[in-house]
Structure 1
Amino acid sequence: MDTRQLKTLLAIETHRTFAQAADVVGLTPSAVSQQIQSLEQELNTAIFDRSSRPPKLTPQGLQVIEMAKDILQREDDVKAALRGDQMAGTLMVGSVRTSALNLLPRVIVQMRRQFPALKTNLRVSLSSPLIADVASGRLDAAVVAEHLGIPNALRWSPFLREPLWIIAPKGTESTDPIRLLNTRPYVRFRSPVPLANLIDTELSRLGVVTQDVAEIDTIGSIVTCVRQGLGISVVPHVALDEDGADIVRLPFGSPQVTRQIGLVERTVSPRGEVIARMHEALADQCGEHGVRR
């Protein structure tokens, strides 16, 4: 299998037509077609359905696309390793849909400036598939909250340990957290993630019966609703602006509840050095709540 064929295949996926891909890879359209036909013969499968115009990827073709991305990434990594350059190649990173996702793009941009030869590819998903992809090697690392289902072959290293806050609209006068939670309209975080379970468990432990007015699955939207006066809620520290002038905040839980977010990676990883640099940069972005290795 020729990696030039795989690069051509990815160019077709990106640019949608053989003709546009030909311009990108510097070949004629007929040469592109010959490369794909040769690849199909080698794999004994149809990658494209040519009955439509432009040709569309078949289900088998989608699998070949994933294989091509994996092979080309590994090629980049091996070349970087042979050069002795640990800060080159492509770093495949995943992240859960968390308010801490705000930190990751900043760190990726920072590392891109520091290490121009390093490429990054970010995938956003849920914790379980991300952890499975790290274990299988499809991802080098992933940002996930503290999780019980970490296999022994993986290592989870927290970079953020942050408090949770009860937040209320500006002008709220009550300083009694329990009374506030029992009496004010409550915007509930409803999502299949550890944070939602952590909040609900502490509410139950405190004996609180909330007056729910909304169920929302993103923390950013919850903060917006509270700012607009819809009700009160509970959110992690990283979701709040630095000044917080337009929101009243009170500690949530007794003692105040915290949650952790970290990087999961394979215990033996060829990208260990670059992942360590990313962990350090993420911890720096978290300020006083950052956790160093």
Structure 2
Amino acid sequence: MLRETPDQRREALDIRQLQTLVAIADHGTFARAAEVVHITPSAVSQQIRALEAEFGVPLFNRDSRPPSLNLQGLQILEMARRILRSVEETKGVVNGRRATGTLTIGSVRTSTIGLLPLAIVGLRKIYPELKVILRVGQSNALVADVLADRINIGIVAEHQAMPRTLRWSPFIREPLMVIAPPGTPGETAAEILATTPFVRFSSNVPLANMIDTELARMGLPTHDIAEIDTIRAIVECVAGGLGAGVVPDVALRANALPLKVVPFGNPPVFRQMGIVHAANSPRSEFFAEVHRQLAAAAGDWGVHPAAGSRHE
């Protein structure tokens, strides 16, 4: 008796069953998945039982509440995500559209200041049927989400180590700037930070390590007065007179608050932000357009796709 090949088995699967499995994984419970895929909870259970019968193994640990995916279930989930992504991309090709459906972008907070809205508007002009979902999170979590195919693109800082199955491409290289209240004594970063209380980033913010490394290189101790985890909050605290801080240039573009601004570091320190996505994705051409839109939004500090990308 001939045995089915993996490809033949995939062809026999019901796409709706795979969509339901992914919905359970993403939303945590059978009941919530039923709402997302617009079927009844009993139909969700029937579809999962059909999947388990197809593969001949249980996919969930039903001793826990709610049931959780077991090892076999996680393996099937990874396959389901790949199949559903391929189906979505094929629909776009067949319909003569290069980008349809939903693009899920995960971003660290820093790059959402001004750049992402501009880039998304640019994308929608080229691909009017495209739906964009934006999530905000920490770099490590975003890379894990791209790796697990929970999001299509992550926007993270350059120091973040990447698995070899992912590609990171910088779209902005911008200077870090010292900001201080108007009238603060000193004309250089060292003079300002040596005499002014310091509003620093929390240690869990990737930018904090870059700033601390340069401060140590300069031999410059700081007089910390606050520790904050968002750029916007640091800018507002500095504008309110609490002390001085170090932020990327992008934070100052749409800011009308009165501030004293000087370059940070000697020579000035630059940081890079980039997009990360699956290295072998058939949507690479589309991701390059996302990159172009972000680089254009970055203006003078933009790094365009031809400037390079890398695996880490």
Bin of the TM-score, shorter chain as denominator length: 0.7 to 0.9
Contact 2:201 2:228 in 1 (8 A): yes
Aligned CA RMSD, in angstroms, stands at: 3.6
Correspondence 1:191-202 to 2 at 5 A: 191-202=203-214
Q: Deviations 1:244-292 (Å, cap 9, x if unpaired)?
A: 4421111111122111111233443311121111111111111222122
Pair 1:246-2:255 in alignment:
no
2:69 to 57, 60, 80: 60
Q: Which stretches in structure 2 are left out of the alignment for 5+ residues?
A: 1-12, 306-312
Cα pair 1:186 1:214 within 8 Å, conserved:
yes
> Secondary structure of 1:171's match?
coil
Matched, 1:159 2:168: no
Instruction: Calculate percent identity across the aligned residue pairs.
Output: 46
Residue type at the aligned position of 2:111: A
**CA deviation map 1:59-105 (0-9, x unaligned):** 1289577775554333212332444532124434332x241123224
Provide the rounded CA distance (Å) in 2 between the counterparts of 1:117 and 1:131. 27
Say which of 180, 184, 207 aligns to 2:192.
180
For the structure 1 residues 149 and 17, does the alpha-carbon distance in structure 2 shift closer, same or farther, using more than 3 Å as the test? closer
Q: Is the 8 A contact 1:170 1:247 kept in 2?
A: yes
Match of 1:87 in 2: 99
- Of 257, 268, 284, 1:272 maps to 284
Which has the larger displacement, 56-65 or 230-239?
56-65
Contact kept in structure 2, 1:18 and 1:33, CA below 8 Å: no
1:284 aligns with 2:296: yes
Q: What are the residue-to-residue correspondences of 1:70-219 with 2, within 5 Å?
A: 71-95=83-107, 97-102=108-113, 103-131=115-143, 133-134=145-146, 139-147=151-159, 149-219=161-231
Aligned-partner Cα distance in 1 for 2:297–2:148? 29
Amino acid at match of 2:58: T
TM-score in terms of structure 2 length: 0.75
Partners of 1:138 and 1:201 lie apart in 2 by: 33
In the superposition, relative to structure 1, how do residues 106 and 57 fare at CA in structure 2: closer, same or farther (>3 Å)? Answer: farther
In the aligned structure 2, how far is the partner of 1:164 from the partner of 1:19? 44
Are 1:38 and 2:50 matched, yes or no? yes
| CA deviation profile, 1:30-52 (whole Å, cap 9, x unmatched) | 6565445434544643759799x
Q: Which amino acid aligns with 2:184?
A: T
Matched residues in 2 for 1:84 and 1:137: separation?
25
| Aligned length in residues | 287
SS in 2 for 1:80: helix
Report which stretch shifted further, 6-15 or 137-146.
6-15
CA distance in 2: counterparts of 1:240 and 1:202, whole angstroms:
21
Q: Counterparts of 2:139 and 2:281 in 1: how far apart (Å)?
A: 20
Given the superposition, is the C-alpha separation of residues 145 and 33 from structure 1 closer, same or farther in structure 2, using an over 3 Å criterion?
Answer: closer
Q: CA distance change for structure 1 residues 224 and 114 in 2, over 3 Å: closer, same or farther?
A: same
Q: Structure 1 stretch 7-16 or stretch 238-247: which is displaced more?
A: 7-16
- SS for the counterpart of 1:170 is coil
Partners of 1:31 and 1:265 lie apart in 2 by 34
Higher mean displacement: 259-268 or 278-287:
259-268
Kept in 1: contact 2:177–2:248 (CA 8 A): yes
Counterpart CA distance in 1 for 2:277 and 2:162 is 10
Letter in 2 for 1:171: G
**Deviation of the 1:121 alpha carbon:** 4.2
Please give the secondary structure, in 2, of the residue aligned with 1:195: helix
SS of equivalent residue, structure 2 residue 250: helix
> How much does 1:132 deviate?
5.0
Q: Which stretches in structure 1 are left out of the alignment for 5+ residues?
A: none
TM-score, reference length from structure 1: 0.79
Whichever residue aligns with residue 276 of structure 2, its letter is V
Whether the 8 Å contact between 1:70 and 1:138 is mirrored in structure 2 is: no
